[in-house]
Amino acid sequence: MTVCVYTIASGKGGTGKTTTTVNLGTSLAMLGKKTTILDADIGMANMGLLLGLEKSAVTLHDVLSGTADVKDAIYDGPGGVKVVPSGLSLKGFQHSNPDKIKEIMSKLIDGMDYVLIDAPAGISKDGVIPLAVADKVILVVNPELSSMADALKTKALTEMLGRPVEGAILNRSALEKTEINRNKVAELLGIKILEMIPEDANIRTSAAFKTPVVIRTPNAPSSLAFKKLAAQLAGMEFKENGNQKANKEGFVDRLARSIFGGN
């Protein structure tokens, strides 16, 4: 298949964009799709933290500063996903040239089925470039007015750049009145809702263990939603595996659950 580059974007921070990129990318990889996830939020990078790659020797910062090749910044992630983290230092951010993202795309897409780019929130030069290099853009929104208002601005900017908006992911949705929420958000944004990711304490717990929720708690409500979305994007039938067994919980697991919550 031809590689497809999705940019995962939002109008404001805190919508769950990075968590979505990590879990959607991991889910695609678990379906046998060659997938790379890239943290293009070079100023407020979090992907490395979520995956335990915060001490990586080479990051996207080094690539964008011209001191490293992007292939040296690609790491093996969970479920077979490839990960390109950004660095955490302010100095690395100051020396990064986001324009170089355009230059490295040819190397990133080589041999891949999917590349998912975690874009910076808001409208800025750093945020425009990930939108411009995408084949399709997916918006992550929360069921609140400010999130949807900012998403509309990002949608308008994406369309100005001539890139198609594939749809939106309604993240942290309440379980009640889901269809009403889905229809209202779709009508307001003028795009289809690809999937609804329910509010799920398992996501916080998995973040504490630096493991995607789709791997750590595969049958959690959010995990099933992420995997369903991955199957949808890949054009595959989603089959919920009811025979999956939960990991045996040890002391550290119980301690994290007591602190961060979870089922």
**CA 228 from centroid of its chain's CA atoms:** 15
Exposure class string for 116-155: b at 16+ Cβ within 10 A, else e: bbbbbbbeeebbbbbbbbbbebbbbbbbeeebbebbbebb
Give the domains, in start order, of the chain with CATH numbers. Answer: 4-260 (3.40.50.300)
- 122-157 pLDDT per residue, tens: 777 778 999 999 999 999 999 888 888 999 999 999
Task: Give residues with Cβ within 8 angstroms of 251, minimum separation 6.
Answer: none
Q: What is the pLDDT of residue 44?
A: 81
Cα diameter, the chain: 52
pLDDT digits (tens, 9 = 90+) for 156-194: 999 999 999 999 999 987 644 555 578 888 999 999 999
Residue 19, SS3 per DSSP: helix
Tell me, what's the pLDDT at 262? 52
Binned at pLDDT 50, 70 and 90, residue 89 comes out as low
- For residues 242 and 151, give the distance between their C-alpha atoms in angstroms, rounded to a whole number: 35
Q: What is the pLDDT of residue 246?
A: 38
pLDDT tens digits, one per residue of 52-73: 999 999 999 999 988 999 999 9
pLDDT at position 122 is 77
pLDDT of residue 245: 39
**pLDDT at residue 123, as a whole number:** 75
| Least confident among 69-83, 115-129, 241-255 | 241-255
pLDDT for residue 43 = 80
Q: Tell me, what's the pLDDT at 177?
A: 54
Cβ partners under 8 Å of residue 175, min gap 6: 198, 199
Percentage of residues in the chain having pLDDT higher than 70: 86
For 206-238, write each residue's pLDDT tens digit: 999 999 999 999 999 999 999 999 999 999 999
What pLDDT is recorded for position 38? 96
Alpha helix positions (H), 31-164: 47-51, 60-64, 90-94, 100-108, 125-132, 145-160
What is the model's pLDDT at position 248?
A: 43
pLDDT at 90 over 80: no
